[in-house]
Amino acid sequence: MAYVIAAFALLAVVLVFRAVKVVPQGSAFTVERFGRFTRPLNPGLTVIVPFIDRVGARINVMENVLEVPEQDVITQDNAMVAVDGVVFFQVMEPASAAYEVNDLHRAIENLAMTNIRTVMGSMALDELLSQRDRINQTILGVVDEATSTWGVKVTRVEIKNIEPPRDLVDAMARQMKAEREKRATILDAEGVKQSEILVAEGHKRSAILEAEGRREAAFREAEARERSAQAEAKATRDVSGAIARGDLQAINYFVAQKYVDALKALADAPNQKILFVPLEAAGAIGAIGGVAEIVREAFGGGPDATGEPRSGAPARNGPRSGSSSGPWKA
């Protein structure tokens, strides 16, 4: 009796072990009844019919990363490049991923490699190196459409490395260097051009300011000459009036000023080392007085020192010009 109870207890344990299934998070199981798919098992604790149902495929429903091995691709311009990449995908329908395709990872890998060769082979090398985003999007669209029947969603396709041949890399490096040197030469030429323009503008402005300065100086010099001529004319008019009035003091002052100016001009001459003055100061003043008498007589005479008009040659009470005794006296 005890053996029967133990046998039933063991059978119950086996039944429970075969009926209760625990599905981990991030996974999905399929249930097969007599070899035919019936339903999927979601994460958690589930129960199946023992000895009739069994767990078929165990599918990882998290996003997976699949490495695409390196392969050689011939571009449109006949350049051989080595390309590798990576594919990100996620199983959305566990039953389709389990029963629609055999070896899902290998199928996605070969599909990605084929489309990489197709897409990149229709492009030139310069486009491959400069339009990687466009290549990724094109391959992603093709692969995602092809894997949709497998219950798989391809989220990203990334090209990791594009390696041209070494000689082609060296040629591209020389081309890049030449292009940079060209841009540097152009920038230097532009800098020199701008510098010359600024220097020319400075010279132009300087010439304009210098011409304006010369014009202003000439204008002021003309004004000074005009004022000097006006002053000279006024002095001449004043002397003429003094001569007409017989004002000997004004006449003597005018003649003495001219005499002093003449002596100053002789003294300032660069070729003069010694200045001979023919008259002493007192004799010069006397000569000036005599000249004044002669000028007054030439203008018709005038009143003498007593206020009476003169009718003939003026009487001189002092020594003549050239003596050292003193000036003439009227």
Report the relative pairing of strands 27-33 and 36-41 from DSSP bridges. antiparallel
Q: What share of the chain is helix, strand, coil (3-state, %, to 5)?
A: 55, 20, 25
pLDDT tens-place string over residues 10-43:
878 888 888 888 899 999 999 999 888 999 999 9
In the predicted model, what is the mean pLDDT of the chain?
79
Same domain, yes or no: 144 and 98:
yes
Residue 240, in any domain of the structure:
no
Please give the model's pTM, rounded to 2 decimal places.
0.53
Same-domain check for residues 82 and 47: no
Number of neighbours of residue 31 by Cβ within 10 angstroms: 20
Kindly write down the DSSP assignment for every residue of 96-113, as one continuous string: HHHHSSSSHHHHHHHHHH
**Same domain as 131, residue 70:** yes
Q: Are residues 56 and 83 in the same domain?
A: no
The candidate with the shortest Cα–Cα distance to 16, out of 57, 45, 59, is 45
Output the CA angle 142-144-149, nearest 5 degrees. 115
Give 193-246 pLDDT, tens digit per residue. 998 999 998 888 888 988 888 888 888 888 888 887 887 777 777 777 777 776
CATH number at residue 80: 3.30.479.30
Query: In the predicted model, is pLDDT for residue 176 greater than 50?
Result: yes
Range of the domain at 53: 2-60
Domain termination site, one of 44, 60, 76:
60
Residue 309: inside a domain: no
Domain membership of residue 172 (yes or no) is no
Q: Is residue 122 part of a domain?
A: yes
**164, 187, 203: which is the final residue of a domain?**
164
The number of domains in the chain is 3
Looking at the structure, do residues 122 and 48 belong to the same domain, yes or no? no
Q: Are 27 and 61 in contact, with CB atoms under 8 Å apart?
A: yes
